Structure 1
Amino acid sequence: MSLPALFLLAVALGTDAFSLCLGIGMAGVSPARVLALSATVFSFHVAMPLLGFKAGEIAGLYLGRPAAVGGALILFYLGARMIWEAVRDEEPPDVVLGGWGLFLLGASVSMDALSVGFTMGTLRANLLLAVLLFGAVAGAMTLGGLWLGRLVGCWAGKRSRLLGGAILLGIGAKLFWQVMGGSM
């Protein structure tokens, strides 16, 4: 997987955290909580793809092409789900930013990274580069979402989820096309 594709995937994975943190930022968050939340999201966006990657690598080794097709379809599903939720105008849940609330927030916005890690494992992508890029981009998008939340209205949350969903759909379609023998 090319560096631009990995970067776009990292941005798509970070949009959940970004859109959620826009709302949290509008409510006001202390600088210590901003750093804690950004570090938590960074950590989960590194750990979850690692777990998924190992599972995907094993599946790719034993299942080959069907596993890669399944991984591409997972990305496509995640993108469609993100768009569906944005169109339905679902609001992110209220979050308590301490202890378990912080942990659960980090886990909830990183679940799609587990599936993406699985997909990357089936394709044998560069793991270290991918997870560090995912973590850095998601952490930065969390920080940016919290900071921009004070400056931007609620409209950006829906638009960023739509963009993230469209990116996942596009990458899923591209991977599917490549696995099926096309060239993009």
Structure 2
Amino acid sequence: MSITTLLLLAVALGSDAFSMCLAIGITGVGKRQMFLISFTVLIFHIIMPLAGWYVGELAGRYIGNAAAIVGASILIFLGVKMLRDVIKKDPENAPKIALVNTWGLLLLAASVSMDALSVGFTLGTQKVNLIMAAGVFGLVAGLMTFGGLGLGRLLGRVAGERAQLAGGLILIGIGIKLFF
């Protein structure tokens, strides 16, 4: 597999994290949270392909479905909460709380990393340096996560409530997409 193909695959895998974090960044995450979320997604995008390689497709399918449902539910919850906060004008109860919670952070990172699990299994059938591939996946996903959070944070400052409303709708849309 060429490095170009590997990078394109990494960008495709990181796109869920980017879009989710764009919406989350609109809520006004702090720099510490940005680094923590980005690092967690980076680690998950390294671990998941390796786990897919070792666990296999069958186990990945069961784990993937359960985590995707939980992750989708969390995203829909955050999106609805963002919409409610905009409508009620209650910025003190922004959905940042779920991201500070360790379990919430881990579930969100797992939900955007599930496709890397099956990709890891697939890469196991190819002649690919899995360690290098997982490292590229992690680095690209971490950078895309940080970029999404930063861009969302900027949009949140510039566009205010409209950006938060759009962010809530994006999270709900991504959550619904994960169910199907």
TM range (shorter): 0.5 to 0.7
- Post-superposition Cα deviations, 1:74-121, rounded to whole Å, max 9, x if no partner, equal 9xxxxxxxxxxxxxxxx9431610210011011111000000001100
The size of the alignment, in residue pairs, is 127
Partner SS for 2:99? coil
CA distance in 2, matches of 1:118, 1:124: 12
Determine which of 119, 122, 134 is the counterpart of 2:122: 119
* Alpha carbons of structure 1 residues 142 and 26: separation in structure 2 relative to 1, 3 Å: same
Give unpaired runs (5+ residues) of structure 1. Answer: 60-73, 75-90, 162-184
Amino-acid identity (%): 54
In the alignment, is residue 146 of structure 1 matched against residue 144 of structure 2?
A: no
Q: CA deviation at 1:125?
A: 1.1
CA distance in 1, matches of 2:36, 2:2: 31
Partner SS for 1:48? helix
CA distance in 2, matches of 1:105, 1:128: 23
User: Which residue is equivalent to 2:92?
Assistant: none
Partner SS for 1:4? helix
Determine which of 101, 105, 124 is the counterpart of 2:104: 101
Question: What is the 5 A alignment of 1:33-182?
Answer: 33-55=33-55, 92-93=75-76, 94=78, 96-98=98-100, 99-152=102-155, 154=166
Partner SS for 2:21? helix
8 Å CA contact 2:29, 2:153 repeated in 1: no
8 Å CA contact 1:55, 1:121 repeated in 2: no
CA distance in 2, matches of 1:116, 1:146: 25
Alignment root-mean-square deviation, CA: 2.5
**TM-score of the aligned structures, taking structure 1 as reference length:** 0.62
Runs of 4+ in 1 over 4 A off after TM superposition: 152-155
Q: CA deviation at 1:124?
A: 3.0
- Post-superposition Cα deviations, 1:53-93, rounded to whole Å, max 9, x if no partner, equal 2345xx8xxxxxxxxxxxxxx9xxxxxxxxxxxxxxxx943
Greater fraction of residues in helix: 2
